[in-house]
Amino acid sequence: MATMQDVARLARVSVSTVSYALTGARPISQATRAKVLAAMAELDYQPNAMARGLASRRSRILGLLLPMDERGLGATETAFVTGAAAAASAAGYHLMLSPIGVGDLDELRRLASQRMLDGALLMEVQLHDPRVDVLRELGVPLVLIGRTADTDGLSYVDIDFDQTVRAAVGHLVDLGHRRIVYVNHSADTLAEGYGPALRTRDAFTAAMTGHGLEPLMIPAEDSAAGGRAALATALRRAPDLTAILAMNESAVFGLLGELATRGRSVPDDVSVVSMVTSPQVAELATPALTAMSSPGSAVGRIAIETLLRHVDAGDGQINQQLMPCALEVRGSSGPPRTEGKPTEAARRRAATRRRA
């Protein structure tokens, strides 16, 4: 394996000149740089990334601070991460996943104090997130996927939850639904201040009130069992419900399963719309879920591009971007059943049976 000394010998320059060509720590002439690069290509020299980082005072490592539990990552979260990883790699950086949440501040201080990270990307952001304060205190550039309550001086990329909920409620109201229940994340998640759960709760209340309808939100554990329990609660509190909104990918399949167990057809008896959902998840359900589709990998890509502007260019310009979810109508939403009159979905099924 070729060494820096081999490159210097072939290019007829000093080892320090090779180092300057790699790190840009000192200016060298274009002709000298060309000689060094030609020698590197001839010898197939692969510079040591860590050594180069130390010389330039850069690690070329970005931290992705993403707290995780035994559930792992859902498909929508995975799309955010893959978008971020691809953007970091394209720019010559490594993205290091660190499961640091708001309860791991000592670990975050140790990591940031070692100067291993050139910048940090935060996910699962709470409205009052102490990770932001720690990183600011230690001078680590950061960008949020999500938003705190006070976003002054912070760059972020987030879902436009007001638009998303308003469009989802509007879709169901336009179909004729008046008794709509929202299945959110768990009560603990709400109490901890998780931004998406609280913002969608408030947006749902505003949207329903704007249509003159009564809002009812049911918290659900992030599991199929949690979805089943949430449906039982919803039917107990609103036995006349005709539509469910959900922003809980782990629970929505439990909701669908419990509806089937209780003999309630989707969408004939109950329409279901899933919010901030990947198309892959929506297509797994039977019937396929009408969804407010997440912008997916674009969120992670834009967040990394913003972070790199702060890191590479020392760009202090704040970028705050809200991204919409797009309504994709599939098979899980339709008009509510009219007493004595079959729904459009029921008519289609009857026509299919007749043709068969």
* Per-position pLDDT tens, the chain of length 356: 788 889 999 999 998 888 777 766 678 888 898 898 888 888 888 765 545 554 556 778 999 999 987 666 778 888 999 999 999 999 889 999 999 988 899 999 988 887 789 999 999 999 999 999 999 999 999 999 999 999 999 999 999 999 999 999 999 999 999 999 999 999 999 999 999 999 999 999 999 999 999 999 999 999 999 999 999 999 999 999 999 999 998 899 999 999 999 999 999 999 999 999 999 899 999 999 999 999 989 999 999 999 999 998 776 789 999 999 999 999 999 999 876 455 555 445 444 443 44
CATH of domain 161-294+327-336: 3.40.50.2300
Q: Which two tokens stand for residue 345?
A: 């979905």
Q: Which helix (H) or strand (E) holds 121?
A: strand 119-122
Instruction: Report residue 51: phi and psi, to 5°.
Output: -65, -40
How many of the other CB atoms lie within 10 Å of CB of 330? Answer: 17
Contact 243, 173 (CB under 8 A): no
pLDDT in tens, 113-136: 877 899 999 999 999 999 999 999
Domain ranges of the chain: 4-47, 61-159+296-324, 161-294+327-336
pLDDT in tens, 153-167: 999 999 999 999 999
Q: Cα dihedral sign for 176, 249, 126, 63?
A: negative
In CATH terms, 61-159+296-324 corresponds, of 3.30.70.20, 3.60.110.10, 3.40.718.10, 3.40.50.2300, to: 3.40.50.2300
CA 326 to chain centroid, in Å, comes to 15
pLDDT in tens, 251-261: 999 999 999 99
Whether 161-294+327-336 and 61-159+296-324 are alike in CATH topology: the answer is yes
CATH of domain 4-47: 1.10.260.40
> Which CA distances in Å does 256 have to 170, 227, 252, 270, 288?
22, 8, 6, 10, 11
Nearest-CA neighbor of 253 among 75, 80, 83, 68?
Answer: 75
pTM: 0.79
